[in-house]
């Protein structure tokens, strides 16, 4: 698949997202429902995480090691992040569209979330951890960051039990398209 940055941003701005299939071919996808992480008081996290947050075990960074987060997200038994998609994320990162929101324990990358920021929406592509609670703390701190920056929504694309622990909820494609139209009007800056 040949790609250019503007066509990829256009695709995401219309509600599509890229995934590799079983043969590692890259395709655009959409779903009838979208999963959002709440940026309001519906957001929650496991109670067991509160002591970790209180103790400030992790520091947070943006793009300190984008490539390592991308690799961490792709390095699993079943993944939709092919070698070509990693190249695309890296190109989007260099163009200022893709970000890694990271947690660190000293000089060790603990976990992170890979995503894209387009106007008033953050699109979470994947997350991973190397140290227990690293990705969970990244999620809590990312939601705080997005709230402070005035983002309208955090798109997690597909629902799963892990995201449900953070209060994720599903909306129809029609509702998503309305939010998308609103978000594209917002001049949010991720950094």
137: domain CATH number? 3.40.630.70
Range of the domain at 14: 5-183
CA atoms within 13 A on the CB side of 79: 18
| Token pair in block for residue 16 | 């599509």
Per-residue confidence (pLDDT) for residue 1, from 0 to 100: 45
In the chain, the number of structural domains is: 1
Contact 8, 94 (CB under 8 A): no
**Is position 143 within any domain?**
yes
Considering the entire predicted model, what is its pTM? 0.94
Average pLDDT over residues 48-53: 94
CA atoms within 13 A on the CB side of 77: 0
| Residue of higher predicted confidence among 107 and 80 | 107
Reported confidence tier of residue 161, pLDDT bands at 50, 70, 90:
confident
């Amino acid at each position: 698949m040949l790609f250019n940055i503007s066509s990829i941003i256009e695709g995401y701005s219309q509600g599509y997202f890229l995934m590799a299939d079983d043969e590692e071919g890259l395709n655009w996808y959409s779903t009838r429902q979208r999963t959002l992480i709440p940026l309001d008081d519906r957001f929650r996290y496991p109670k067991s995480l509160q002591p970790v947050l209180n103790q400030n075990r992790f520091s947070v960074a943006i793009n300190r090691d984008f490539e390592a987060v991308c690799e961490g997200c792709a390095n699993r038994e079943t993944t939709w992040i092919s070698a070509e998609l990693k190249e695309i994320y890296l190109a989007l990162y260099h163009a200022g569209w893709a970000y890694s929101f990271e947690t660190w324990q000293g000089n060790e990358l603990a976990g992170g979330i890979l995503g894209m920021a387009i106007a008033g929406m953050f699109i979470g592509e994947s997350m991973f951890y190397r140290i227990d609670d690293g990705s969970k703390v990244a999620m809590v701190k990312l939601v705080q960051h997005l709230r402070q920056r005035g983002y309208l929504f955090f798109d997690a694309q597909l629902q799963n039990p892990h995201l449900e622990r953070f209060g994720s909820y599903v909306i129809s494609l029609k509702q998503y398209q309305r939010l998308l139209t609103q978000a594209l009007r917002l001049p949010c800056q991720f950094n």
